[in-house]
């Protein structure tokens, strides 16, 4: 796929499904649905293991995938999006939050784009969708975590206002047993929305 030269253009973004022009590639963004399991498993299993380490669970495992779909679709506790190009899954998001915890105002955003669809602007668009979903369910703070060597991912999140908040040493262990450091970035989405509203950019 061609690399992005301009920001993606979306029709009626934030309603689902909607389509997005990612530098000439037509991408559909939709909510995760009950029948998406097989497609999503194929997507997850094709990703390099290293790209999955930022998630606390291995979505390449069928039982983890089933639990994710149940949380998102049946229990409606984890808003999740799926991006497709030419009918094939090329990215997804999940917004973890727990109304019953001491951090009901906080959510963790997880975003992954397939290696051959990177650099088109899809990751940026999916993070923006995550902001909107977070605000729509009343979250005030978003965090995202990734291994410290994911320089592109860190640069992207920082360009969108996230700031490093914690470094977790040897925090995840890959399937070969090697441990990796995790950086946690955070974003005060409620304050950002307040500033946008003051500038008349609330929508």
Task: Work out the number of other CB atoms within 10 angstroms of the CB of residue 40.
Answer: 20
CA-nearest of 96, 160, 163, 99 to 126 is: 160
Give the bridge partners for 106, in sequence order.
141
For ligand COA, which residue of 17, 24, 62, 152 counts as binding (CB under 6 A)? 152
The nearest distance, CB 51 to ligand COA, in angstroms, is 4
**Residue 111 engages ligand COA in binding (rule: CB under 6 A):** yes
**Residue 130 engages ligand COA in binding (rule: CB under 6 A):** no
> Residue 6 or residue 101: which is nearer to ligand COA going by CB?
6
For ligand COA, which residue of 82, 95, 96, 121 counts as binding (CB under 6 A)? 121
Q: How far apart are CA 28 and CA 196, in angstroms?
A: 27
The nearest distance, CB 203 to ligand COA, in angstroms, is 21
Q: How far apart are CA 63 and CA 27, in angstroms?
A: 28
Residue number closest to ligand COA, CB atom: 123
**Stretches 13-21, 36-44, 67-75, 149-157: which one binds ligand COA (CB under 6 A)?**
149-157
**Stretches 25-33, 38-46, 67-75, 106-114: which one binds ligand COA (CB under 6 A)?**
106-114
CA separation, residue 169 to residues 107, 156, 184 (Å): 22, 22, 11
Q: How far apart are CA 63 and CA 34, in angstroms?
A: 14
Structure tokens at 14: 């934030």
For ligand COA, the binding residues (CB under 6 A) are 4, 51, 54, 110-113, 118-124, 144, 146, 150-153, 155-156, 159
């Amino acid at each position: 796929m061609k690399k992005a030269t301009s920001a993606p253009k979306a029709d009626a973004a934030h309603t689902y499904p909607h389509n997005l022009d990612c530098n000439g590639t037509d991408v559909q963004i939709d909510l995760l649905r009950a029948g998406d399991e097989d497609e999503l498993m194929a997507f997850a299993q094709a990703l390099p293991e290293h790209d999955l380490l930022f998630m606390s669970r291995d979505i390449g495992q069928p039982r983890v995938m089933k639990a994710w779909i149940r949380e998102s679709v049946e229990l409606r506790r984890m808003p999740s999006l799926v991006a497709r190009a030419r009918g094939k899954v090329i990215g997804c998001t999940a917004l973890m939050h727990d109304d019953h915890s001491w951090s009901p105002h906080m959510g963790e955003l997880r975003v992954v784009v397939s290696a051959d669809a990177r650099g088109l602007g899809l990751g940026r668009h999916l993070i923006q969708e995550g902001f909107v979903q977070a605000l729509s369910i009343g979250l005030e703070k978003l965090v995202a975590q990734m291994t410290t060597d994911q320089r592109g991912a860190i640069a992207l999140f920082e360009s969108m206002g996230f700031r490093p908040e914690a470094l977790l040493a040897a925090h995840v262990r890959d399937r070969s047993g090697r441990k990796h450091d995790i950086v946690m970035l955070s974003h005060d989405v409620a304050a950002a929305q307040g500033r946008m509203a003051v500038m008349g950019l609330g929508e």
